[in-house]
């Protein structure tokens, strides 16, 4: 995993541990041996460390970290001795970076005397994304290179720096424009001419760059952590570790870092976030689809419908470098669509997120049109018109007649049947659902809906398309609401029943936000539009079964045209600030309708609210698994963390269920079943797992082992 070649008096040490040269067992030991040998070799005047393949080192081996987090075995090897060995090497050690230097990879690099990188490289300390802090002296060396403030920002947000930004920040010493290896050897020979000793990062001073005091810098860090990583412990511990760097000698600071690291890695949040990391990587593993499955190339996309979703989808395509036509039957809708798109890019330019040149280039990639001109050259057509089966069916028939035979046809429907739409065409094997989430150019989640006739090639091409758009593409089956929205129904309606029984919208939303949800369910409904759910209730004939309790208030609000943010009023009222404000008129309406329906009123604790809302969602998740509409429980976690604001530090709803204990959930749902037989019934899978003392994680493990999900 580590090999050395001497070239021109320079020992080139290559780390070769695919896929990302993680510092798994054997790698640190291999590097240490290489350093020892090179230092002892008289023909060697400098040492270059480089990564094989596409990247430098992407950190510690997260698989081993996972073992540590679950208390299974020694876990990830510590590299303190190696870092000291490198730093104390009498010959200059140059770290040559391409791809990424992340976490332990950047910590390794910072122990070197010099760091050079290609312009496309990225570096960072993304450990908070796994619920930990840098654990290999990163919180002690980084502030010595970039100052306290920048180190805090990097460790609290986990954001990566480009090579030019890393040069400006003081992390790397030079950007190499040519061949990395050759240029690094040249650079190494040059620095080896300068008489030693070579600069040691540990001996650099920790400086405060632009704060009045250390306390001010640390307090700013705490506020940043609370803002961008609400309820998460690791970002706050990273600030504490950097406090140690600024207030104590290097070794003492490292000891404090190790203590704080241990507190993080043994936490529930760390186990949940590592679960989320691997869950996101598992979604690409689909039975029947392998690396050999042919993937069609998608170069030209045609989006039909310039409404909110169509515009966002067109932008997502343009942002990934694709040529995209945006078609609408009405000039007014087309103009409104393009105006919204231009406005969006302008605000990104104003916020410095895009250069004007890139903004203009992306707008020009989007070709607005009223007809289907050029559609015969499209590789993928995405229909995003009004949520009406009849309308979509007629468009599918029309498109099928004008597209080239190989073209894939997708619908952005969020609830309608892909199989019914596929039957409107002569290419059912190339029909699928691509369910984007609003705003489609921002939200990472993409539900890829497989119809009964959709081919493996179409699915493999859709997964590649999702990766190209930097989306997390999750394959789901074709049932009403697919996976995300289907689980949303019991969650959303149980919340409405709670307010009919005495809770208030703001109490329910407050409990969900304290739980960690990005937004309460009533605020989500107001954002999505109550009229959308109203139409879906009608389309899917929800609550039409006899004896089934029907939510009373949302229908009434819709009849009052309180559709939410879009009409300024919904469950809340939205004034100038755009912030949701509780509305006494809504409370009166709720109480009146409850009284008329003789619904007993009572107080609810936040825990009861969480149980009634999320246990319903989890139970439906188990049904979706047993019916085969989701391959893994972890897929449901990925869907909810990336599409519905479920806190990643709880791992997702199914991982959360495991942490609560499936027995407890079955007990609570059985209790609800006694009180509300019309809608609560424990799913057979959930009961089976609970009785067997198993978890959704073990369920996924067994399915993977049986080949059912991988």
**Residue 695: φ, ψ to 5°:** -130, 170
Q: Which residues are CB-neighbours of 204 under 8 A, at least 6 positions away?
A: 144, 145
CA-angle at 258, arms to 252 and 259, nearest 5°: 90
Which residue shows structure tokens 């061949």?
A: 179
E-assigned strand segments in 478-607: 572-574, 580-582
Q: How far is the CB of 351 from ligand T1G (least distance, A)?
A: 25
Closest approach of ligand T1G to the CB of residue 231, in Å: 20
Query: Given the rule CB under 6 A, which of 130-138, 622-630, 664-672, 695-703 is the region that contacts ligand T1G?
Result: 130-138
* One residue of 20, 123, 403, 410 binding ligand T1G per CB under 6 A: 20
387 catalytically annotated: no
Please tell me whether residue 143 binds ligand T1G under the rule CB under 6 A.
no
Q: Is the N-terminal amide bond of 186 cis, ω within 30° of 0?
A: no
User: Of 28, 135, 433, 484, which one interacts with ligand T1G (CB under 6 A)?
Assistant: 135
Q: Does 410 bind ligand T1G (CB under 6 A)?
A: no
Q: How far apart are CA 608 and CA 306, in angstroms?
A: 42
Element (H, E) at 613: helix 606-626
Does 107 bind ligand T1G (CB under 6 A)? Our answer is yes
- Establish how many alpha carbons lie within 13 A of residue 495's alpha carbon, considering only the half-sphere containing its beta carbon: 25
| Count of residues of this chain found to bind ligand T1G when the rule CB under 6 A is applied | 26
Cα separation, 99 vs 657, in Å, equals 37
Instruction: Determine which residue in the list 8, 26, 36, 63 makes contact with ligand T1G, applying CB under 6 A.
Output: 63
Give, as ranges, the residues between 173 and 232 that touch ligand T1G (CB under 6 A): none
Look up 626 and say whether it is catalytic: no
Nearer to ligand T1G, 526 or 635 (CB): 635
Least distance between ligand T1G and beta carbon 654 (Å): 19
The yes or no reply on residue 267 touching ligand T1G (CB under 6 A) is no
Distance of CA 43 to the CA centre of its chain: 49
Contacting ligand T1G within 109-128 (CB under 6 A): 126-127
Is residue 130 part of the contact set for ligand T1G (CB under 6 A)?
yes
Q: Nearer Cβ to ligand T1G, position 159 or 694?
A: 159
Q: Exactly one of 7, 29, 87, 107 is catalytic; which is it?
A: 107
The reply to whether 65 sits near ligand T1G by the rule CB under 6 A is yes
Does 142 bind ligand T1G (CB under 6 A)? Our answer is no
Closer residue to ligand T1G (CB): 60 or 244: 60
Helix (H) or strand (E) holding 654: helix 653-660
Identify whether the C-beta of residue 374 lies closer than 8 Å to the C-beta of residue 384. no
Kindly state whether residue 281 participates in binding ligand T1G, applying the rule CB under 6 A. yes
Q: Collapse the DSSP code of 5 into the 3-class scheme (helix H, G, I; strand E, B; otherwise coil) and give the result.
A: strand
- Taking CB under 6 A as the criterion, the residue among 28, 59, 92, 312 binding ligand T1G is 59
Q: Judged by CB under 6 A, which of 2, 38, 58, 324 binds ligand T1G? A: 58
Q: Which residues are registered as beta bridge partners of 47?
A: 11, 93
Q: Please, what is the Cα angle at 259 between 258 and 264, to 5 degrees? A: 95
Report CA 247 to chain centroid distance, whole Å: 35
Cα 536 to Cα 246: distance, rounded to the nearest angstrom: 57
Which of the residues 33, 39, 87, 127 is marked catalytic? 127
Place of tokens 């008329």: 596
Catalytic amino acids?
Answer: 107, 127
Q: Which residues bind ligand T1G (CB under 6 A)?
A: 19-20, 22, 58-63, 65, 76, 100, 102-104, 107, 126-127, 129-130, 132, 134-136, 138, 281
């Amino acid at each position: 995993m580590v090999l050395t070649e001497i070239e021109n008096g320079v020992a080139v040490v290559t780390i070769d541990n695919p896929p990302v040269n993680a510092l798994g067992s054997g790698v640190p030991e291999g590097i240490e041996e290489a350093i020892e040998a090179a230092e002892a070799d008289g023909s060697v005047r400098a040492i270059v460390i480089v990564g094989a393949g596409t990247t430098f080192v992407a950190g510690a081996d997260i698989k081993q970290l996972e073992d540590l987090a679950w208390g299974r075995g020694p876990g990830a090897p510590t590299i303190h001795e190696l870092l000291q060995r490198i730093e104390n090497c009498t010959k200059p050690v140059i770290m040559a970076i391409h791809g990424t230097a992340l976490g332990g990879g950047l910590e390794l690099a910072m122990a070197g005397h010099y760091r050079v990188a290609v312009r496309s490289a990225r570096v960072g300390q993304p450990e908070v994304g796994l619920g930990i802090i840098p654990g290999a002296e990163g919180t002690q060396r980084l502030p010595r290179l970039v100052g306290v403030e920048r180190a805090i920002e990097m460790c609290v947000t986990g954001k990566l720096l480009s090579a030019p930004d890393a040069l400006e920040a003081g992390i790397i010493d030079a950007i190499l424009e040519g061949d990395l290896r050759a240029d690094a050897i040249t650079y190494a020979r040059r620095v080896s001419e300068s008489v030693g000793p070579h600069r040691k990062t540990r001996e650099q001073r920790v400086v405060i760059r632009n704060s009045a005091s250390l306390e001010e810098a640390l307090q700013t860090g705490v506020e940043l952590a609370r803002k961008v990583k609400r309820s998460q412990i690791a970002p706050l511990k990273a600030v504490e570790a950097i406090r140690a760097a600024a207030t104590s000698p290097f070794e003492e600071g490292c000891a404090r870092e190790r203590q704080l690291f241990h507190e993080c890695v043994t936490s529930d949040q760390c186990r949940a976030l590592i679960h989320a990391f691997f869950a996101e990587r598992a979604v690409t593993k689909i039975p029947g689809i392998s690396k050999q499955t042919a993937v069609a190339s998608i170069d030209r996309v045609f989006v039909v419908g310039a409404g909110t979703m169509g515009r966002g989808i067109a932008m997502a395509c343009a942002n990934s470098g694709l040529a995209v036509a945006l078609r609408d039957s009405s000039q007014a809708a087309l103009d409104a669509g393009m105006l919204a798109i231009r406005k969006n890019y302008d605000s990104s330019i104003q916020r410095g997120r895009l250069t004007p040149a890139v903004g203009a280039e992306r707008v020009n990639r989007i070709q607005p049109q009223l007809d289907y001109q050029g559609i015969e050259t499209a590789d993928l057509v995405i229909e995003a018109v009004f949520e009406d089966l009849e309308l979509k069916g007629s468009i599918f028939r029309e498109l099928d007649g004008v597209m080239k035979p190989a073209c894939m046809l997708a619908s952005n429907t969020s609830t309608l049947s892909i199989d019914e739409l596929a039957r409107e065409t002569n290419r059912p094997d190339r029909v699928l659902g691509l369910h984007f989430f609003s705003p489609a150019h921002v939200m990472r989640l993409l539900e890829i809906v497989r119809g009964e006739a959709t081919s493996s090639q179409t699915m493999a091409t859709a997964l590649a398309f999702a990766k190209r758009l930097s989306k997390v593409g999750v394959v789901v089956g074709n049932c009403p609401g697919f996976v995300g929205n289907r689980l949303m129904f019991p969650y959303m309606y149980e919340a409405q029943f709670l307010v009919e029984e005495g809770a208030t919208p703001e109490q329910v939303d407050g409990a969900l936000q304290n739980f960690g949800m990005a937004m309460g369910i009533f605020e989500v409904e107001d954002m999505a539009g109550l009229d959308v759910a109203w139409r879906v209730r009608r389309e899917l004939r929800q609550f039409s079964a006899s004896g089934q309790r029907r939510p009373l208030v949302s229908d009434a609000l819709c009849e009052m045209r309180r559709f939410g943010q879009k009409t300024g009023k919904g469950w809340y009222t939205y004034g100038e600030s755009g912030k949701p404000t509780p509305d006494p008129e809504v409370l009166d309406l709720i109480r009146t309708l409850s009284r008329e329906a003789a619904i007993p009123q009572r107080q609810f604790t936040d825990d009861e609210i969480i149980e009634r809302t999320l246990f319903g969602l989890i139970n439906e998740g188990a049904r979706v698994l047993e019916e085969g509409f989701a391959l893994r429980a972890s897929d449901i976690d990925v869907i909810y963390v990336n599409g519905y604001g479920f806190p990643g530090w709880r791992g997702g709803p199914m991982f959360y269920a495991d942490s609560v204990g499936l027995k407890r959930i079955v007990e609570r749902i059985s209790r609800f079943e006694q009180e509300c037989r019309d809608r609560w019934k424990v799913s057979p899978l959930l009961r089976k797992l609970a009785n067997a003392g198993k978890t959704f994680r073990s369920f996924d493990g067994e399915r993977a082992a049986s080949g059912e999900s991988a």
